[in-house]
Structure 1
Amino acid sequence: MGPGRIRNPVQSAVWWVKKQPPKVKAFLAVIAGIAILVFLRLVVRDHDNLFVAAEAIHAIGICVLIYKLTKEKTCAGLSLKSQELTAIFLAVRLYCSFVMEYDIHTLLDSATFITTAWVIYTMRFKLKSTLMEDLDNLPLHYVLAPCAVLALLIHPTTSHHLVNRILWAFCVYLEAVSVLPQLRVMQNTKVVEPFTAHYVFALGVARFLSCAHWVLQMLDRNSFLISALFYGLWPAMVLLSEVVQTFILADFCFYYVKSVVDGQLMVRLPSGVV
């Protein structure tokens, strides 16, 4: 940035945060998160709407990918493995929803699963020549196996069949880490093109809203979750999974916002961000 150029207040704030050490950035992120949670608690009366909004934003992010694949005819910068992991946890969650709790979330998950399946089909068959297989190199069993083992050990203690309870836990854990292959691709390329950046940012926003839903449920004095946290590990693991998802994407979301504020189309990531 040239000496004669004057930054607006938002650019100055982003630039100041960028120069801070990691511990200060983490502290500021926590403060910002708390401030947003307070705002959401004051504005949103029904906290379940946050969870619906999270699923809707995830679906919008997938639609952004569809637009990219249709318009640009390339899947460069996208992780096929992340899409496959997303399809797996959505398929498992849809099965569990049908046999355990059919509601609005089932309909939203159905729409997201269908669009994700279309993305996978397009990437694997129509645009296979543009896949970045050398960069999309995180083995799937590194993600699937720990989730499966954890689901066997820690799962809901409801009256449903044991297999269904284990599958429900598996999809919760898998959702928390399904974006890891996509982050690996972005770390390998260091430059994230606009549509991929929009998609990952949408995931970050969706994960934050989902996490906010659970945190605000805890702050509600009449919430069952407060009581449930003292009975078994499952409720605590659900909350931990939401927090893990949010923090996994937090760094990328910061650099995405910085790029938008600076008027840049591409998101440039320094080493070690994701």
Structure 2
Amino acid sequence: MNVKMARRPIHAASSWVRRQPPKVKAFLSVVSGMAALVLLRAIVHDHDNLFVAAEAVHSLGISVLIYKLIKEKTCAGLSLKTQELTAMFLAVRLYCSLVMEYDIHTILDSSTLAATLWVIYMIRFKLRSSYMVEKDNFAIYYVLIPCALLALLIHPSTSHHIVNRICWAFSVYLEAVSVLPQLRVMQNTKIVEPFTAHYVFALGVARFLACAHWVLQVLDSRGHLLVALGYGLWPSMVLISEIVQTFILADFCYYYVKSVLGGQLVLRLPSGVV
């Protein structure tokens, strides 16, 4: 009874938000994001921990996929292309981490890359009969080519070798759009089973934490961090990439939370959500 009473205000609030015009929804999203940033700034003293948390949450999302593949013996609803793009940007970022600065991020990226490669192997070979190839129809060259060109034009101006700086930029840009094929699969199916929904929600949380890390670092350094990243357009592109990743998944995360609070195991997406 108490649970039902607790859900009533949430349901009323979500219904009110759903009735608002797009501009009001966008404003509420911005306000909610700013409130979350203020809260994180107050409770997390070392903001580097936010980036570590983001990578840890991503690893947790991959673990959910592994559990799904082992328990249910099916990869239905998963995008092989998103996993391949994820492996690609992780491999490039791991290379950059090894040659530029070896730290905790290197270890986290290594474990996440290994898990992602295992998921790719399972989808491509062991569970191929359940792979929804007709639904996974996003052309990845639509993101690979623009990311590569953008990396050639806009990359860090640090003292590292030019190849390493271009690779670093490429991994940042590719990470920002790597989830698009998975969103296309969900758009085509309209129904998202629990484990896939948990995985995509974990990506959304990870992206928000990473974005919060960069924004709070810039605020704390009063803009000096942007100078440390280099001059030109690169510092701004880092922030824009993080913000783009967050907003790409924001709408899905809203419906995910709404579905969980409503006690629904299967997430049904309205038209035009992703």
- Measured in 2, the distance between the counterparts of 1:229 and 1:98 equals 18
- Show CA shifts across 1:170-223 (max 9, x none): 000000000000000000011110000000000000000000001101111456
Q: CA deviation at 1:16?
A: 1.6
Deviations 1:219-256 (A, max 9, x none): 11456325458931111000000000000000000000
Measured in 1, the distance between the counterparts of 2:171 and 2:229 equals 20
User: For residue 196 of structure 1, what is the aligned residue in structure 2?
Assistant: 196
The alpha-carbon distance between structure 1 residues 107 and 223, as it changes in their structure 2 partners (threshold 3 A), is: farther
CA contact (8 A) 1:229 1:236 kept: no
Secondary structure of 1:8's aligned partner: helix
| 1:34 counterpart letter in structure 2 | M
What is the CA–CA distance in structure 2 between the aligned matches of 1:200 and 1:15, rounded to whole Å? 23
Residue of structure 2 equivalent to 1:79: 79
Structure 2: gaps of 5 or more residues: none
Question: What amino acid maps onto 2:36 in structure 1?
Answer: I
Residues 133-187 of structure 1 deviation map (CA, whole Å, 9 limit, x = unaligned): 1010011111100000000000001111111110110000000000000000000
227-236 vs 86-95, greater mean Cα deviation: 227-236
Figure out how many residues of one structure are paired with residues of the other and give that number.
Answer: 270
Partner of 1:208: 208
TM-score, normalising length: structure 2: 0.96
Check whether the contact 2:158–2:230 (CA below 8 A) recurs between aligned residues.
no
The code of the aligned residue for 1:80 comes to L
CA distance, structure 2, for counterparts of residue 22 and residue 266 of structure 1: 26
- Calculate the TM-score normalised by the size of structure 1: 0.96
SS in 2 for 1:111: helix
Amino acid at match of 1:246: T
Q: In structure 1, how many angstroms separate the alpha carbons of the residues matched to 2:54 and 2:38?
A: 18
2:35 corresponds in structure 1 to 35
SS in 1 for 2:121: helix
Q: Which runs of 5+ in 1 are unaligned?
A: none
Q: Is the contact made by 2:218 and 2:225 (CA closer than 8 Å) also made in structure 1?
A: yes
Residue 13 of structure 1 aligns with an amino acid whose one-letter code is A
Provide the residue aligned with 1:153 in structure 2: 153
Q: How does 1:8-19 map to 2 (within 5 A)?
A: 8-19=8-19
SS at match of 1:209: helix
The question of whether the paired residues in 2 share the 8 Å contact of 1:123 and 1:131 is answered with: yes
Match of residue 117 from structure 2: 117
